[in-house]
A and B are shown apart, each in its own frame.
Chain A
Amino acid sequence: MNPSAVIYLLTAAAVFGIGLYGLLQSRQILRQLLSINLMGGGIFLLLITLGGGADGRPDPVPQAMVLTGIVIAVSATAFALALLLRWHELSGSTELDADAIADAIADAVADAHDD
């Protein structure tokens, strides 16, 4: 591993860590999604760096994995955004837990009056 790889590895760890922090700290779904994408970016950077190869010839397997990983990340994000839009339409909220308990009670009351 060449010395500059250390910089990339540290960057990868930092990006992953920032993503993890954002995911755990934020309640906004959109921010959580961005955080998940950041974490993914960190992992992709790690994969590419580790596959760098000692003799300067990169290993193709991690590169293929990163390409596939990017495709999956894009589709997952697209679906998550669509779901978020639907959630916003239904609830008017961009967070998940804000009114969970109130909703549960409303559900139960509506249900009790059903029949």
Chain B
Amino acid sequence: MTTEALVGLIFLPLLGACATVLPGRLATRAGVLAGLLPLPWLLVVVTLAVVQDPALFVELGGFAAPLGIRLFADPLAVLMLWMVAIIGGLAAVHAWFDFPPDSPAGQSFWPLWLLLTSAMNALFLSADLFNLYVCLELVTLTAIPLIALAGSKTSVRAAMRYLLLALLASLLYLLGIALLYNATGTLDLYLIRTALTAAPPAAVVTALALISLGLLLKGAVFPLHVWLPQAHASAPGPVSAVLSALVVKTAIYLLYRLWLWSVPAGTLAAEHALMLMALLGAGALLYGGVLALLQERLKLVIAYSTVAQLGYLLLILPMAATAAWPVAWQGGLYQLLSHGLAKAAMFLAAANILHALGSDRLSHLRRLDQRQPLSLFTLAVAGVSLMGLPPSGGFLAKWLLLEAAWRSGQWWLLAVLIAGSLLAAAYIFRILAASLGRDDPTEAQPVAASRSIPVIQDAAALLLALLALGTGFAAAPILQFIEAGAPAAWSTP
């Protein structure tokens, strides 16, 4: 049963994608529904199995590793899969109206969307560095055409730049794998640990550096984020949501897997590597926050906010060697979850605003509370989670991170965390202030009334924002689940 559910998570969207390109008016619609609707139900089965066994390996077709392909599920993987199901699902509901399945736009949109879903599910279930390479490529090659579907010059340029950098990143990753395989004789994420010794050869160090560099580039970690803001801001709304909430996080997820699962503690001066990545995270948090504050367009503010919020995910890394690790891990994963929900909600709301007003410039948002009250409410609720005000999920994440930084005595982290939250508050309040502005009586024309948008599109965005808020209330079971799968803390040398 569990095996079927795991395989279904990968193959149902894949088969759905094949169905969508068949001729016939109903084929696309049927493919989309068959590919997406069963996913949450399959996930329930997988979740129950993982609660029983927090390190679930399934050998496909009965072939053992290294020849066969193993699927692996643990709480981290299940959390990511749920994010794909929920965020991807609600974004798909939103996309249903902009890309109706029987329209030409829908014909090109839905196959890519289903393939992207399938690729992300496969990525989170893979246990082998080469399979992960294939999945990363699939994610890249399906996400980028989705950006270009917006059709504007800006979006095609952003897609092209993203593609060139993503291909470079993939090659760095592949080169790293080649060296690592030669040095260790295995590509299994969970067997590499045993093959690495305390003093590995230079080839392994180079390999880990190359793989990490590739992943940092794909994960848009400061200062390698240059491709992200335009790409995320110029994509169609639901695509922006999935890119920011899920796609960039695939790379961060792999960094976690590589450094916290595959590399044994005390090797390669890995502490220094983790500290370096945390410093990049701190840079991202501050730089992204300041840049978000300077943007004139709503979608660009949200995109730069992604650059900043990704920083939190790297900040937890150096705490792997301290006693505060379990708290830091919970905080990091909670940030992953709540940021995904809040950011997807904001991008969907921004898409609604852009659609209704024909512009997303902050200076055009005046009187938004009268023109698009639900969108504004969504932005505000998601914003509460992003800046970390109670009782949202974002608050809990940042609280746990602060507690971990406090307990491990990393004072500089405390300062960075607080500065990051203040910057987030500043750019969110800037959006709200612009939206609540009134017409200037001296100006000749008041702002135009807005076009109406389907209420379901509003509802999808609002539901995501409420989920981001709700993760703050229903935290206990989720935190317990996360803790069961925390990678072992590194003993301090």
Residues in chain A within 8 A of chain B (CB atoms): 16, 23, 29, 32-33, 36, 39-40, 43, 46-47, 50-51, 61-62, 65, 68-69, 72, 75-76, 79-80, 83-84, 86-87, 90-91, 96, 100, 103, 107-108, 111-112, 114-115
In contact, B154 and A111 (Cβ under 8 angstroms): no
Bitwise interface map of B from 154 to 191 toward A, beta carbon under 8 Å scored 1, else 0: 10110111011001101100110110011000010000
For residue B130, CB closer than 8 A to chain A, the reply is yes
For residue B107, CB closer than 8 A to chain A, the reply is no
Asked if A61 meets B153 with Cβ closer than 8 Å, knowing A36-B168, A115-B357, the reply is: no
Q: How many residues of B contact A (CB 8 A)?
A: 36
In contact, A61 and B178 (Cβ under 8 angstroms): no
In contact, A87 and B168 (Cβ under 8 angstroms): no
Given A84-B160, A96-B164, A111-B359, 12 other A-B residues pairs in contact with their CB atoms under 8 A? A32-B164, A36-B164, A46-B178, A65-B130, A79-B141, A79-B145, A80-B163, A91-B156, A91-B157, A96-B157, A108-B296, A112-B361
For residue B66, CB closer than 8 A to chain A, the reply is yes
Report Cα–Cα, A92/B289, bound state, in Å.
35
Cβ contacts under 8 Å, A68 to chain B: 130, 134
Report Cα–Cα, A32/B447, bound state, in Å.
46
In contact, A69 and B160 (Cβ under 8 angstroms): no
A-B pairs with beta carbons under 8 Å apart, 26 shown: A16-B175, A36-B168, A39-B168, A40-B174, A43-B171, A43-B174, A43-B178, A51-B182, A65-B181, A68-B134, A72-B134, A76-B141, A79-B141, A83-B148, A83-B163, A86-B148, A86-B156, A91-B157, A96-B157, A96-B160, A96-B164, A108-B296, A112-B361, A114-B359, A115-B359, A115-B448
Cβ contacts under 8 Å, B181 to chain A: 47, 50, 61-62, 65
Bitwise interface map of B from 176 to 211 toward A, beta carbon under 8 Å scored 1, else 0: 011001100001000000000000000000000000
* Minimal beta-carbon separation of A10 from chain B (angstroms): 16
| CB closest residue in chain A, given B182 | A50
In contact, A103 and B358 (Cβ under 8 angstroms): no
Cβ contacts under 8 Å, A79 to chain B: 141, 144-145, 163
Cβ contacts under 8 Å, B369 to chain A: none
Residues in chain B within 8 A of chain A (CB atoms): 66, 130, 134, 137, 141, 144-145, 148, 153-154, 156-157, 159-161, 163-164, 167-168, 170-171, 174-175, 177-178, 181-182, 187, 296, 357-359, 361, 364, 447-448
Cβ contacts under 8 Å, A83 to chain B: 144-145, 148, 156, 159-160, 163
| CB closest residue in chain B, given A84 | B160
Report Cα–Cα, A108/B295, bound state, in Å.
12
Report Cα–Cα, A59/B141, bound state, in Å.
29
A-B pairs, top 4 by smallest CB distance, nearest first, are: A50-B182, A47-B178, A90-B153, A36-B167
Most buried by B among A32, A75, A83, A108: A83
In contact, A111 and B361 (Cβ under 8 angstroms): yes
B137 in complex: contacting residue of A29, A50, A72, A103, CB < 8 Å: A72
In contact, A69 and B174 (Cβ under 8 angstroms): yes
Report Cα–Cα, A115/B359, bound state, in Å.
8
Asked if A23 meets B447 with Cβ closer than 8 Å, knowing A69-B174, A115-B359, A115-B364, the reply is: no
A87 in complex: contacting residue of B141, B157, B182, B447, CB < 8 Å: B157
* Minimal beta-carbon separation of A60 from chain B (angstroms): 9
Cβ contacts under 8 Å, A107 to chain B: 154
Cβ contacts under 8 Å, B137 to chain A: 72, 76
* Minimal beta-carbon separation of B172 from chain A (angstroms): 9
Cβ contacts under 8 Å, A33 to chain B: 164
A100 in complex: contacting residue of B134, B157, B358, CB < 8 Å: B157
* Minimal beta-carbon separation of B456 from chain A (angstroms): 26
Report Cα–Cα, A79/B153, bound state, in Å.
17
In contact, A115 and B358 (Cβ under 8 angstroms): yes
In contact, B156 and A40 (Cβ under 8 angstroms): no
| CB closest residue in chain A, given B153 | A90
Report Cα–Cα, A20/B182, bound state, in Å.
22
* Minimal beta-carbon separation of A114 from chain B (angstroms): 5
Report Cα–Cα, A91/B153, bound state, in Å.
7
* Minimal beta-carbon separation of A90 from chain B (angstroms): 5
* Minimal beta-carbon separation of A101 from chain B (angstroms): 12
In contact, A96 and B161 (Cβ under 8 angstroms): yes
Report Cα–Cα, A29/B156, bound state, in Å.
13
Cβ contacts under 8 Å, A23 to chain B: 164, 168
Cβ contacts under 8 Å, B163 to chain A: 76, 79-80, 83
Report Cα–Cα, A46/B175, bound state, in Å.
9
Cβ contacts under 8 Å, B447 to chain A: 115
Cβ contacts under 8 Å, B171 to chain A: 36, 39-40, 43
Cβ contacts under 8 Å, B174 to chain A: 40, 43, 69
Cβ contacts under 8 Å, B66 to chain A: 61
B154 in complex: contacting residue of A76, A80, A103, CB < 8 Å: A103
Report Cα–Cα, A62/B141, bound state, in Å.
23
* Minimal beta-carbon separation of B292 from chain A (angstroms): 18
Report Cα–Cα, A83/B50, bound state, in Å.
41
| CB closest residue in chain A, given B158 | A96
In contact, B168 and A50 (Cβ under 8 angstroms): no
In contact, B175 and A43 (Cβ under 8 angstroms): yes
| CB closest residue in chain B, given A90 | B153
Report Cα–Cα, A29/B170, bound state, in Å.
18
| CB closest residue in chain B, given A32 | B164
B178 in complex: contacting residue of A62, A75, A108, CB < 8 Å: A62
Report Cα–Cα, A87/B448, bound state, in Å.
33
